[in-house]
Amino acid sequence: MNMEYVPTPSQTVGPYLHLGLTNKHSVTRIAGPGVPGERVQLKCRVLDADGAPVNDAMIEIWQADKSGKYNHPDDAQAPENPFNGFGRAATDPNGACAFETVRPGSVPGPGKTTQAPHLNVAIFARGILLQLHTRIYFAGDPANESDPVLAMVPGERRDTLMAELDPGKTGSWLFDIRLSGDRETVFFDV
């Protein structure tokens, strides 16, 4: 069976993104079992302006370990443990995907500030020519009050960047990414 995939105006990135990057290249375990820290399961959902699930999006996550260190060759304080720090997953028919990780630590910010624990997120989806960038913070974390990036976001919009504890599952957090509409997630121009 010969299938030909052609991008259409309503699906500018075409089906290649979902087929080529997520089928064989998903990384849902950001931090393996040997990585120290508070174990966290993060369930993300991608929703459109009407609140309908986006079933063919892809989410990438980049985060620091529990000590606020990134797994990157240019990071002089790179972690010594087997911490990956990167995740990639496709959304399912409900617009959801999940990651296993550890809760990140605070990282240095501009000047002498410190950024609250967060995960850096890129969203790829139909109709988006360039990925969207956002962050996931943990609701209720006292460090959120002094985070310099979060402080740039209007107060009434900050909750769109907060993961909430899943009341039905210990160690599980829920985060909705709304691509547009009344409760649109705050996206950053990076």
- Give a yes or no: residue 187 inside a domain: no
Which residues lie below 8 Å from residue 74, measured CB to CB, with a gap of 6+?
none
- Give a yes or no: residue 10 inside a domain: no
Determine whether 83 is exposed, middle or buried from the number of CB atoms within 10 Å of its CB (0-12, 13-18, 19+): buried
Q: How many domains does the chain fold into?
A: 1
- Give a yes or no: residue 190 inside a domain: no
Range(s) of the domain holding residue 65 = 16-178
- Give a yes or no: residue 98 inside a domain: yes
The enclosing domain of 113 has a CATH number of 2.60.130.10
pLDDT tens digits, the chain, 190 residues: what are they? 556 766 555 445 555 555 555 556 789 999 988 899 999 999 999 999 999 999 989 999 999 999 998 887 776 665 556 788 999 999 999 999 999 999 999 998 888 899 999 999 999 988 787 899 999 999 999 999 999 999 999 999 999 999 999 998 999 999 999 999 989 999 999 8
